């Protein structure tokens, strides 16, 4: 068991433990198609996400990451479009857990690393599964392989570790 202590712009002195091997022993219902490193390399969240917390995660995740520490830049997203809601919106909806003040992707990164918080994991996996409604819309309205069809919805799907290039 490895102890992680977080000190970044959004968390000071937050501690958690990695109880599972990285990328292994996921809940059987949680089958993300992309790793955090793959998502960062493809371009998510306008490159603004995780620019101040790299020390918490493996350096390899950031080797090809498309990041911009000064601003949110939709051009850095894989589909070149903004598909993000601001953090205040997520807070207002009650989607932010105190352990992960940046939201779902932060939870996923920590889960991928090996952190487990039973009830929070169940909640986030339920939210992840709900994104399949967007996948169904892409399947229904787009020809297979047409990445120009529904780019905002495809970018949103990417934010949840689904790979819409396979649709």
pLDDT at 69: 83
Q: What is the pLDDT of residue 49?
A: 81
What is the model's pLDDT at position 14?
97
pLDDT of residue 17: 98
pLDDT of residue 34: 98
Q: Note the pLDDT of residue 50.
A: 81
- Render the chain in DSSP notation, one character per residue: -EEEEEESSS-EEEEEEE-S-TT-S--TT---SS-HHHHHHH--GGG-TTTT-GGGS-GGGGSS----SSS--GGGSTTSS--PPPHHHHHHTT--BTTBTT-HHHHHHHHHHT---HHHHHHHHHHHHHTHHHHHHHHHHS-TT-TTSSHHHHHHHHTTT--GGG-
Reading the chain (167 residues) residue by residue, the pLDDT tens digits are 999 999 999 999 999 999 999 999 999 999 999 999 999 999 999 988 888 889 999 999 999 999 988 888 999 999 999 998 888 998 999 889 999 999 999 999 999 999 999 999 999 999 999 999 999 999 999 999 999 999 999 999 999 999 999 98
Tell if the pTM clears 0.85, that is, is over it.
yes
């Amino acid at each position: 068991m490895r102890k992680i202590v977080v000190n970044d712009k959004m968390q000071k002195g937050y501690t958690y433990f990695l109880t599972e091997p990285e990328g292994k022993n996921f809940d059987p219902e949680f089958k993300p198609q992309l790793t955090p490193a793959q998502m960062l390399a493809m371009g998510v969240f306008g490159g603004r996400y995780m620019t101040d917390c790299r020390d918490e995660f493996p350096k390899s995740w950031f080797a090809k990451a498309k990041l911009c520490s000064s601003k949110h830049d939709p051009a850095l997203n894989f589909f070149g479009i903004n598909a993000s809601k601001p953090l205040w919106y997520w807070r207002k909806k009650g989607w932010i857990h105190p352990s992960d003040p940046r939201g779902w992707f932060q939870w996923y990164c920590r889960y991928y690393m090996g952190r487990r918080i039973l009830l929070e994991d169940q909640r986030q996996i339920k939210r992840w599964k709900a994104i399949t409604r967007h996948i169904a819309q892409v399947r229904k309205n787009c020809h297979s392989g047409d990445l120009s069809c529904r780019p905002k919805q495809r970018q949103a799907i990417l934010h949840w570790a689904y790979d819409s290039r396979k649709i």
